[in-house]
Structure 1
Amino acid sequence: MASWEELREFMHSNWSVRDLDERHLQLVFELPSRRAQTVLIEHASNDETDWVKFKSPIGELTEIDLWTAGEKLAQKVVGGLIVEDEYVVVTNALPLSSLGGNEVVETMMRVTMIADELGAALGTESP
């Protein structure tokens, strides 16, 4: 994907996607755990490069033990934890310029599944 617009088209052609605004997409997956898991896809940029960020909440900040969440996430290959709008979120980012469809799907699903697994392990409801 060379551009955010190409990524948006790819997402819309493969999933039921909600456009939140020009820079944000939202998907909700029904997972084998019987939990619904939201994933947000964000167009981000720094001075030189366009990026895509994948973010999936695991619960509200007030209900998450960040130490435990961090220890559990440390066992995974991808992902980081951030706090955004009072939610603890699993995130990962990739540069758009060299991104292919397989990387989009792999990263999105890994972030989503990790967030679901952490949320279940920490006893949170699906945000």
Structure 2
Amino acid sequence: MASWDDLVAYVRVRYEIMRSTDTELWFNLPTTEERTQLVVVRSVTGADEGPWAQITSPVGKLGDLDLVTLLTKAGESVIGGVVAVDEVVLFKHSIPLHADELPMFDKPFQLVVKVADELEELLTGRDDH
């Protein structure tokens, strides 16, 4: 089983980390054209008591979004889902940390960024996050 430190070491050589704490990594990643997307990876403990990585990326303010369109479009993704935290809608996905599967972090990480950015652009027309 991989540890949070294993994931941090894996990520550091692949992505530019904007900010880090003992349990979080913050990124501001380029997406399409001139757009960027904020994404946070957190260390969490799963129901199985094992280490997990939770990947979240903001879409917009809850009160500003068409929820029918948000839920419909988010439901088209093969991973993740939407949640609201402190009036901010986040696209979120969690993965277990397995030592031999750290390279499998990249695909869901990139998909969360892509989907959140597409939802933000579709629903707000802006690039705030």
Residue 94 (structure 1) aligned with residue 95 (structure 2)? yes
Written as runs of structure 1 = structure 2, the 5 A alignment for 1:6-85 is 6-46=6-46, 48-85=49-86
CA RMSD in angstroms, aligned pairs only: 1.7
Q: Which runs of 5+ in 1 are unaligned?
A: none
In 1, Cα distance between the equivalents of 2:112 and 2:88?
15
TM-score by length of 1: 0.90
Superimposed CA distance per residue, residues 28-56 of structure 1 (whole angstroms, 9 cap, x where no aligned partner)? 11111421101100100045211101111
Indicate how the Cα distance of structure 1 residues 99 and 90 shifts in structure 2: closer, same or farther if over 3 A, else same: farther
Indicate how the Cα distance of structure 1 residues 64 and 105 shifts in structure 2: closer, same or farther if over 3 A, else same: same
Identity %: 26
Decide whether the 8 Å contact of 1:59 with 1:124 is kept in 2.
Answer: no
Residue of structure 2 equivalent to 1:4: 4
Q: Which runs of 5+ in 2 are unaligned?
A: none
Give structure 1 regions of 4+ aligned residues with deviation exceeding 4 angstroms.
Answer: none
Amino acid at match of 1:60: K
Aligned length: 127
In 2, Cα distance between the equivalents of 1:39 and 1:99?
24
Amino acid at match of 2:32: P
In 2, Cα distance between the equivalents of 1:109 and 1:99?
19
TM-score by length of 2: 0.88
